[in-house]
């Protein structure tokens, strides 16, 4: 353990400070495809009974009209966050007719690209902007890639922790700058160590053959309908996923917040020749918001993002520049198809310890060689993380994945102990033990468990559908209490009314709205 980490943990362990560790905030966003009873992508519109995808704060859509996204409110206890995610699922299933929520991250058999429905959000300017942005994603990356689902884990340290750490370390700058600086340091450490999350929680070692649309690949064939890699953990996060020449040169710097936001600001305001060749309209209809490297900042596909809650009409970069980093969004997590929610409490508690370690541990600036090694370690783990004897690179030297993983778990232990002291019990130390068992025995990892199921003779589609049906039965066997059901019903009704109000009171035309939206980012200085 580094001296800096020891000092910070000693401060957090003081009796007057320890209760702050119960005030970390958690939120989960879970994406999942709606499918028919035979596992095909649902061609129906977003169910009106779930409310407006534009204005319902808890149930919306991601890329496709069939790709639901469930969003929990924040809570101090991750168990409460999971309870709320469970309630959202149970409400959704009370409204789904003859459809299921697809259990894994990778989609099953998909229709032709042209038949994958892009999400639509009504006729308001902001609703049209969201739809055109998704049309741009289809043009740039293809619709198939947009049907991949995942789990995003949002986490923040208590605001009161930062001034205490700052004073303890003799920093005389602003609290906001100190907080942002250390969240950016968290991101650097996350890049160093996120390969471990792929090993422990990767759950996509196989996929439906239809997904590749006949493109060349280096996967092996498990059966007539299924491709895989024998030691893969997360093909979702491999280079089979999002690939785009425009983004290839975009590596936002994690050395400080200013350089990070400036790199994204340039990307959303710098034209890219192939996109310019297409233009923003075709036969008078919008096909993408602009012809820049990124249409908007959220188009940058990263494993983790620094975030700040935005005000109405405010862009994410504007919020970060104005008020600094407030929380992080971990975006590289597969959906575990064996779990009804795709995630469980042991994973959530481990993520707390992992992210806190990244925040509190030394975080030197990332040199090019370390950046490159971190990327290689991540990609090596997603493609062959369970291979016996697999080695990664640490400080220019080879090290066995299992050795480094066990060392990291040991370094997380003092943090888990503090969290257990703050909350009572031993739940956080137990979560670490559950993950250590996967390091000791790779057959316990979700990716190995998925392959074990497939090797019994099921195709990926049949396995995923079987799990989807089992989860549906679980949710439907536990209907919500009447007052909880009514609360979700009211949220849905309110959201529909809010969309109608937006559409009836919209000032200006869409072209002007898009021009103003684009201009809002060009003049920003950091």
- Planar angle of CA 219, 340, 106, nearest 5 degrees: 20
Which of the residue ranges 13-27, 248-262, 493-507 has the most confident prediction, judged by mean pLDDT? 13-27
Gap between the Cα atoms of 451 and 441, Å rounded: 15
Strand partners, 341: none
304 pLDDT higher than 70:
yes
pLDDT value of residue 526: 39
Q: Mean pLDDT of all residues in the chain?
A: 94
Question: Helix crossing, 175-193 with 257-267: angle to 10°?
Answer: 70
pLDDT value of residue 522: 60
Q: Give 387-444 pLDDT, tens digit per residue.
A: 999 999 999 999 999 999 999 999 999 999 999 999 999 999 999 999 999 999 999 9
Q: Give 466-509 pLDDT, tens digit per residue.
A: 999 999 999 999 999 999 999 999 999 999 999 999 999 877 79
Q: Which residues does 497 contact at the CB level (< 8 Å), separation at least 6?
A: none
Q: Give 188-199 pLDDT, tens digit per residue.
A: 999 999 999 999
Please give the DSSP secondary-structure letter assigned to residue 170: T
Residue 45: band (very low, low, confident or very high) from pLDDT cuts 50, 70, 90: very high
* Residue 443 structural domain: 3-522
| CA of residue 88 relative to chain centroid, distance | 18
pLDDT value of residue 244: 54
pLDDT value of residue 16: 96
Q: Give 198-211 pLDDT, tens digit per residue.
A: 999 999 999 999 99
Q: Mapping DSSP to helix (H, G, I), strand (E, B) and coil, where does residue 31 land?
A: strand
CB 188 within 8 A of CB 253: no
Q: Which of 57-66, 107-116, 506-515 has the weakest average pLDDT?
A: 506-515
pLDDT value of residue 505: 85
Strands (E), 257-336: 281-282, 285-286, 304-307, 327-333
| Residue 22 to residues 355, 413, 425, 513, Cα–Cα distance (Å) | 15, 17, 13, 43
How many other C-beta atoms can be found within 10 angstroms of the C-beta atom of residue 511?
Answer: 12
Give the domain CATH number at 223.
3.30.590.20
Mean per-residue pLDDT, 9-17:
97
Q: Give 224-241 pLDDT, tens digit per residue.
A: 999 999 999 999 999 875
Q: Which residues does 109 contact at the CB level (< 8 Å), separation at least 6?
A: 39, 40, 41, 208, 210, 225, 461
Q: Which of 6-15, 235-244, 299-308 has the weakest average pLDDT?
A: 235-244
Which runs of consecutive H residues, i.e. helices, occur in 292-364? Answer: 316-323, 345-360
More confident: 272 or 371: 272
pLDDT value of residue 245: 64
126 pLDDT higher than 80:
yes
CB 341 within 8 A of CB 110: no
How many domains, the chain? 1
140: part of which helix (H) or strand (E)? helix 125-141
Q: Give 166-195 pLDDT, tens digit per residue.
A: 999 999 999 999 999 999 999 999 999 999
pTM, two decimal places? 0.96
pLDDT value of residue 523: 53
pLDDT value of residue 525: 45
- Planar angle of CA 391, 395, 400, nearest 5 degrees: 20
Percent of the chain whose pLDDT exceeds 70: 97
């Amino acid at each position: 353990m580094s001296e800096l980490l020891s000092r910070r943990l000693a401060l957090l362990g003081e009796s007057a400070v320890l209760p702050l560790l119960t005030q970390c905030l958690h939120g989960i966003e879970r994406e999942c495809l709606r499918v028919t009873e035979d596992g095909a992508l649902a061609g129906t519109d977003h169910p009106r009974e779930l409310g407006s995808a534009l204005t319902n704060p808890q149930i919306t859509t991601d890329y496709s009209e069939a790709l639901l996204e469930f969003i929990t409110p924040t809570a101090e206890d991750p168990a409460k966050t999971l309870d709320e995610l469970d309630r959202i699922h149970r409400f959704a299933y009370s409204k789904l007719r003859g459809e299921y929520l697809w259990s894994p991250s990778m989609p099953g058999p998909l229709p032709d690209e042209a038949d994958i429905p892009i999400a639509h959000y009504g006729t308001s300017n902001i609703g049209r902007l969201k739809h055109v942005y998704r049309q741009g994603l289809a043009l740039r990356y293809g619709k198939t890639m947009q049907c991949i689902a995942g789990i995003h884990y949002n986490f923040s340290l208590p605001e009161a922790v930062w001034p205490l750490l700052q004073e303890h370390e003799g920093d005389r700058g602003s609290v906001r700058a100190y907080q942002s600086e250390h969240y950016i340091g968290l991101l650097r450490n996350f890049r160093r160590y996120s390969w471990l999350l792929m090993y422990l929680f990767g759950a996509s070692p196989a996929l439906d053959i239809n997904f590749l649309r006949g493109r060349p690949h280096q996967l092996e064939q498990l059966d007539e309908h299924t491709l895989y890699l024998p030691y893969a953990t997360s093909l979702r996060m491999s280079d089979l996923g999002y690939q785009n020449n425009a983004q290839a040169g975009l590596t936002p710097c994690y050395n400080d917040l200013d350089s990070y936001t400036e790199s994204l600001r340039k990307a959303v305001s710098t034209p890219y020749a192939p996109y310019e060749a297409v233009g923003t309209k075709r036969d008078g209809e919008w096909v993408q918001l602009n012809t820049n490297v990124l249409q908007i900042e959220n188009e940058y596909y990263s494993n983790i993002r620094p975030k700040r809650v935005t005000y109405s009409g405010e862009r994410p970069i504007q919020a970060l520049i104005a008020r600094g980093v407030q929380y992080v969004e971990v975006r590289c997590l597969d959906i575990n198809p064996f779990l009804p929610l795709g995630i469980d409490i042991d994973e959530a508690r481990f993520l707390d310890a992992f992210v806190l370690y990244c925040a509190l541990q030394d975080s030197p600036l990332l040199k090019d060689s370390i950046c490159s090694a971190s990327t290689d370690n991540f990609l090596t783990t997603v493609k062959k993380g369970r291979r016996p004897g697999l080695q990664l690179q640490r400080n220019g030297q080879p090290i066995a994945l299992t050795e480094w993983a066990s060392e990291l778990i040991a370094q997380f232990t003092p943090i888990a102990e503090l969290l257990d002291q703050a909350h009572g019990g031993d739940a956080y130390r137990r979560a670490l033990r559950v993950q250590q068992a996967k390091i000791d025995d790779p057959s316990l990892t979700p990716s190995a468990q998925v392959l074990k199921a497939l090797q019994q003779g099921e195709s990926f589609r049949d396995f995923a559908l079987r799990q989807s049906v089992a989860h549906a039965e679980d949710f439907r066997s536990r209907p919500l209490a009447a007052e909880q059901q009514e609360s979700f019903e009211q949220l849905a009704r309110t959201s529909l009314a809010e969309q109608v109000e937006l559409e009836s009171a919209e000032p200006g035309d869409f072209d002007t709205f898009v021009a103003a939206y684009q201009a809002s980012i060009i003049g920003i200085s950091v």
